[in-house]
Chains A and B, each alone.
Chain A
Amino acid sequence: MAWMAWTWPTAAFFASIVLALTAMTLAEMRWPTAERQGWLPLSTTRGDRFFISLLGSAFIHVLWLAATDLPVAGAGLLSLGYAAVVMTRG
């Protein structure tokens, strides 16, 4: 695995993605999703909203890094808030 040049932060990042996907799978088995329309301009399933949360969070970080020198934890907090809004009301 050395050739993959692992670091602790990236390992934690990917582990959290895997955990989130596992949780989504278990949630789907326990409470099957139904399409619904929230404030997003399209009908979405739980998986769609998860994908939109991840993609949106990635771009929040990109814009943060492009625009400011403030600690990136700010982008992380912003992303968590965004993901919570998308998952619950999107």
Chain B
Amino acid sequence: MRNDKAWLAVLPVVIVVAFTAIVPLMTVVNYSVQDIFDVDTRIFVGLDWYRETLRDPRFIDALLRQVLFSGLVLAIEVPLGIWIARAVPREGPATAAFLIVLAIPLLIPWNVVGTIWQIFARPDIGLLGAAVTAIGLSYNYTGSALDAWITLLLMDVWHWTSLVALLAFAGLASIPRACYQAAELDGANAWQVFRYVELPRLRAVLTIAVMLRLMDSLMIYTEPFVLTGGGPGNSTTFLSQYLTTMAVGQFDLGPAAAFSVLYFLLILLLCWLFYTSVMKGGADDR
């Protein structure tokens, strides 16, 4: 006989999610179809804010920058994280030391990371900036869009590759020794061991790692805000920063709400596509 009382255990989560996610999201949708002056003064405008936002060149530019940034971040951090995880010794006293060192960047608050890199990359007094300038390269992240992008990517890689590495290490540590011994008996080389022994068993943790990095990179705000302020020009202004300017700086609540809904749909679509393709790939492998 089925015991449906177990569903009651889910009820607290449903209530918490309803009040922290669903009700605010519904409110944002309500705002997105109105011109809001105050609680009592609002005019229904239909889908005009959506139309306006979708045709705003600054929104489209920020969107393209956002997708490019997330793509680059994933393309660098995932392989690098796996490579670092494979290099960490599985046993012995050095393992704990490696893991602690890897965890340090994750413990630093995002605005502090931005501040660290703002100083670190300064061409006059920063270690990185001064070193690059000393070897004769022209580098100034406040004046050059390319330099600003490189600095932002370096900062994000420094901050978040550890997350991928730690998750990949946890996955690698759970692979039974017998799998490696069998591969050795079959004469598998290092690449074959990685491709056919390790990678299939890392699928679950890598899916989590990539989803976390994808969602987080799509929502990045604090670090670029502190490091470059979105500049030079608008070259590092991502969706979240443009949205904040609209909602908090200009107090355009209606357009900002429409922007938020579109932003949410984009993240939902990308995460669903990615999750589905990874899980489908896993099913095909089996």
Contacts and interface: CB of A to CB of B under 8 A. Distances in A.
Interface of A: 2-7, 9-10, 13-14, 41-43, 51, 55, 58-59, 61-62, 65-66, 69, 72
Interface in B8-59: 23, 26-27, 29-31, 33-34, 36, 39, 42, 44, 46-47, 50-51, 54-55
Given A5-B36, A62-B262, A66-B54, A55 B272 contact: yes
Contact of A65 (B29, B44, B47, B283): B47
A62 B50 contact: yes
B39 A3 contact: yes
B133 to A, nearest CB: 44
B44 A7 contact: yes
A9 B33 contact: yes
A5 B265 contact: no
Given A62-B50, A66-B54, A14 B26 contact: yes
What's the interface size class on B, roughly? 20 to 34
Contacts of B54: 62, 65-66
Contacts of A7: 30, 33-34, 44
B129 to A, nearest CB: 41
B138 interface: no
A10 B261 CA distance: 13
Specify which of B39, B51, B268, B272 lies most central, judged by the most chain A CB atoms within 10 Å of its CB. Answer: B51
